[in-house]
Amino acid sequence: MAVKKKPKLAVWKFASCDGCQLSLLDCEDELLAVADKVAIAYFLEASRAVEKGPYDISLVEGSITTQHDAERIQKIRKISKVLITIGACATAGGIQSLRNFKDIKEFVSIVYASPEYIETLAKSTSIASHVPVDFELQGCPINKRQLLEVLSAFLYGRKPNTPAYSVCIECKRRGTVCVMVAQGIPCLGPVTHAGCNAICPAYNRGCYSCYGPMETPNTASLSSWFGRLGVKEENLVRSFRSFYGSAEPFRKESETHE
């Protein structure tokens, strides 16, 4: 009987902090079991052994910020049967997409002594704005439980269970008293995609939306609530313009308060 070959997994990195791919190595209890089910064929952070493509599943971390990377993602798409983006950088441009609101030349000259040597694009963009993406996993960083869920789902040909409702649902499930209602702490939870398990309110802090917009967020309504809690316009701009600042609903909302 022919032995079925293990599906090949590749992990790719673009502009990012490495945190989302580290989430896979942070599955300390599951890592060896995962390696039993899939062949880790390309994962430079973990291994110097590289198997040639094509790959059954490619996990892509990071945003596109250079011409070289814009070309590299095209090649990766061609050798990947399934391409899954992991994290805020890959799905929405990440914190480095704050450059999208500014003049990049000024940015380069602030950080670098010899700006003429810096090769960079004016904008930091998501993977999906360059190539078709099969699934986007949200979060800065992603949740490792959700990563395992998504990997299992694709390995077994089912839909991943990663609800797009708001963080509020997770607070209710967790039994956390609403920090905005009870304490008047501004919280982006009502417009933020679930997945983190509502950590911030459980630590007595408002959500700062590191999982990006939920589906159909009512950002205007939340902004007016923030106003009633005494949040100034410039802080509203900062609130919507952070780890998911370039995601469409947040970008638009931040611009209405400028």
Partner 1 sequence: MKSKTIKVDYLARVEGEGSLYVKIKDKSVVDVKFKIFEPPRFFEAFLRGRNFSEAPDITARICGICPIAYQMSAVHAMEDAFDVTVDGQLRALRRLIYCGEWIESHALHVYMLHAPDFLGYADAIRMAKDHPAIVQRGLQLKKTGNDIVALLGGREIHPINVRVGGFYKVPAKRDLAPLAERLKWARDAALETVRWTATLNFPDFEQDYEFVALHHPDEYPFNEGRLVSNKGLDISVRDYDDSFTEEHVQHSNALHSVIKGRGAFFVGPLARYNLNFNRLSLLAQEAARSAGLSPVCYNPFQSIIVRSVEILYACNEALRIIDQYEKPDSPSVQVQPRTGTGYGCTEAPRGILYHRYSMDDTGVILDAQIVPPTSQNQKTIENDLWQFIPKHLDLPQEMLTLQCEQAIRNYDPCISCATHFLKLRVDRE
Considering the rule CB under 8 A, would residue 98 count as an interface residue with partner 1?
yes
H-run or E-run covering 61: strand 55-61
**With contact defined as beta carbons under 8 Å apart, do 86 and 45 qualify?**
no
Q: Which amino acid is at 227?
A: G
Select from 47-55, 153-161, 186-194, 211-219 the region that touches partner 1 (CB under 8 A).
Answer: 47-55
Tokens of residue 76, six digits: 């990766």
The C-alpha torsion from 41 through 94 and 198 to 158, rounded to 10°, is -40
Output the smallest distance, CB 250 to partner 1, in A.
Answer: 15
Among 96, 125, 162, 209, binds partner 1 (CB under 8 A): 96
- Phi, psi (rounded to 5 degrees) for 104: -65, -30
Q: What are the two backbone dihedrals, phi and then psi, of residue 185, each rounded to the nearest 5 degrees? A: -85, 120
Single-letter code of the amino acid located at 36: D
Sign of the CA dihedral with 22 first, then 26, 32, and 34 last = negative
Under the binding rule (CB under 8 A), the answer on residue 141 touching partner 1 is yes
Residue 215 binds partner 1 (CB under 8 A): no
Per CB under 8 A, does 229 bind partner 1? no
Residue of the chain from 29, 156, 157, 175 that contacts partner 1 (CB under 8 A): 29
Taking the least distance from each CB to partner 1, the nearer of 66 and 218 is: 66
Interacting residue ranges for partner 1, rule: CB under 8 A: 13-23, 25-26, 28-29, 31-32, 35, 40, 44-50, 65-66, 69, 94-96, 98-99, 102, 106-108, 110-114, 117-120, 124, 140-141, 196, 199-200, 202-205, 208, 210, 235, 238, 242-243
